[in-house]
Amino acid sequence: MITGLETRLLTVPLPRPWGADAPENHIITTAVHTDAGTGFGFAWTPTIGPQAVKALLDHDIAGFVIGRTVEPEVLWDLLWKRLHEAGSGGLTTIAMAGLDLALWDLKARQANVSIANLLGKRQDSVTVYGSGVNLHYSLEELVAQVRRWTAAGNNAVKIKVGKADLAEDVDRVAAVREVLGPHRRLMIDANQRWDLPATIRAVDVLSQFGLEWLEEPIRADDLWAYRQLRKHSPVPIALGENVHTIYRFRDFIAAEAVDIIQPNIVRVGGITPFRRIVELARAHSVRVAPHLLPELSGQLALTMAEPAWVEDVEDASFAHLGLLAGQSPVSVTDSVLTETGEPGLGFRFR
C-alpha cells in the first residue's frame, strides 16, 4: 500500500525559448513511497500552473492515496472520481500523472524490466520527427533549423504556422519544402491561432506543399468546427495535445473530426489513460502520434501495435535541458529511437 508522496518543483530555462511567453519548462517530480519500495514519476507543464499542479499533489492527492493500493489502473479510476469536481482534465489530470507514472515506474522496477517490456514491447524502434516552436524565428533561422534536422537524418519535420499574414506562412512553408525536397515529410502546426474560415483559406493555399498533417489550427475544444474542417480539408487533421480525457477523444473520433490523435501522456493523466486512448484510436483506425516528452512517449510508442512517430522538439528533451541525473532511457540515431532497457521509466531527475 502507499505510505507517502513527496514532490519537488524544478524550473529550467529553454536554450531555444518557445517565444517571449515560454522561456522555460516546469517539472514536478514525484516520489511515491509504498510498503514495497519507492516509485519515481513526474508531472509537467511548459508555462501555466506548475504551483497549482504541485498543490493538487500535496494537498488533494497525497492524503487520498495513503493506505490505498499500489495498482496504478485501479487507483487511477478511484482518484479521478475523487478529483473530478475540480475539473475532469487539465490541471487535474496533469497532477494525476505524477502519481500514475511513479506507480508504473515502481511496478516495472520491481519486475526488473523497462516500462516498455513490462507493458509488452511490440516495436523494436520508432521514428522520430524534428519539431520546433519556431513561429518567432526569422525565415533564415527557420531554414537553418530545418537544415540541422535533415543533417541529423530526420525524414519528417514539423514547423509552426499562424503568421498575421498568410502570405508569410506560404513563403516559410515553401522555403522549408525546398530544403526538404519532395520525399521528406512535412507537418504544420497552427497552435489554435485560426478560426474555421481562416483555416479553410490557409489549407486551400498550403496544401500544395504536400503536407502530412495540419495540427490544431482551431481552438482545441471546438468539435463542431473540426468536424466541418475535416469534411473540407485535403490535408489530414491532427489534434490532441489539449484534449485531456478518453471521453473527449471519443467525441472527436466519433464525430469523424480528426485523422491523427496526439495525446500527451502527462496531460491525459499518465500511462493508464494513455493506453486506453491508444486502444480507442486503434479500434477506430485512427493514427496516434504521442505529443512531446520523447524520453517517455518514445518508450510507450514501442508498446503500440501500430508504428507511431514521436515528436522531438529541438534542444527541449529532458536530456538536453540537463534535467536527468543519469543517462536517457532512449537513444536516437538517424531519426530512429530505441530504448536502453533500464528498469522502470529509466530515468531520475537531478
The pLDDT value given to residue 158: 98
Active-site residue identified among 26, 107, 158, 291 = 291
Residues 305-329 pLDDT 10s: 999 999 999 999 999 999 999 999 9
Give me the pLDDT at residue 118, please: 98
The pLDDT value recorded for residue 141 is: 98
Angle value at C-alpha 22, between 95 and 313, nearest 5 degrees? 80
Please return the burial class of 191, using the count of CB atoms within 10 Å of its CB with bins 0-12, 13-18 and 19+.
middle
Residue 341 zone, left/alpha/beta (φ > 0; ψ -120 to 50; rest):
left
Q: What is the pLDDT of residues 80-103, one digit of tens each?
A: 999 999 999 999 999 999 999 999
Phi and psi at residue 152, to the nearest 5°: -80, 0
Low-confidence ranges of the chain (pLDDT < 70): none
Among candidates 152, 163, 215, 209, which has minimal Cα distance to 186? 209
Residue found under cell 475535416? 230
DSSP codes joined into one string, 61-100: IHHHHTTS---HHHHHHHHHHHHGGG-SSTHHHHHHHHHH
Q: 341 by DSSP, 3-state: which?
A: coil
pLDDT for the residue 204: 97
Q: At what angle do helices 271-283 and 246-254 cross, to 10 degrees?
A: 20
Domains 2-110 and 116-339 equal at CATH topology level = no
Distance between CA atoms of residues 307 and 53, nearest Å:
32
Known catalytic residue at 231: no
CATH entry, 116-339, from 3.40.640.10, 3.30.70.420, 2.40.30.10, 3.20.20.120:
3.20.20.120
Question: What cell numbers appear for 313 in the block?
Answer: 522538439
Residue 59 confidence (pLDDT): 96
* Among 103, 128, 120, CA closest to 41: 103
How many angstroms separate the most distant Cα atoms in the chain? 61
Q: Please report the pLDDT score of residue 172 as a whole number.
A: 98
Known catalytic residue at 160: yes
Catalytic residue among 160, 163, 183, 284: 160
CATH 3.30.390.10 assigned to 2-110? yes
Q: Which residues pair with 25 in a beta bridge?
A: 12
- Distance, in Å, from the CA atom of 246 to the CA atom of 269, rounded to the nearest integer, reads 10
All structural domains of the chain with their residue ranges: 2-110, 116-339
For 259, the grid coordinates are 485523422
Query: In the numeric block, which cell numbers belong to residue 87?
Result: 475539473
Q: Which three cell numbers stand for residue 138?
A: 526569422
Is-contact 183 164, C-beta < 8 A? no
Find the length of the chain. Answer: 350
The whole-angstrom distance between residue 318's C-alpha and the CA centroid of its chain comes to 13
Query: In the Cβ-directed half-sphere of 271, how many Cα atoms lie within 13 Å?
Result: 31
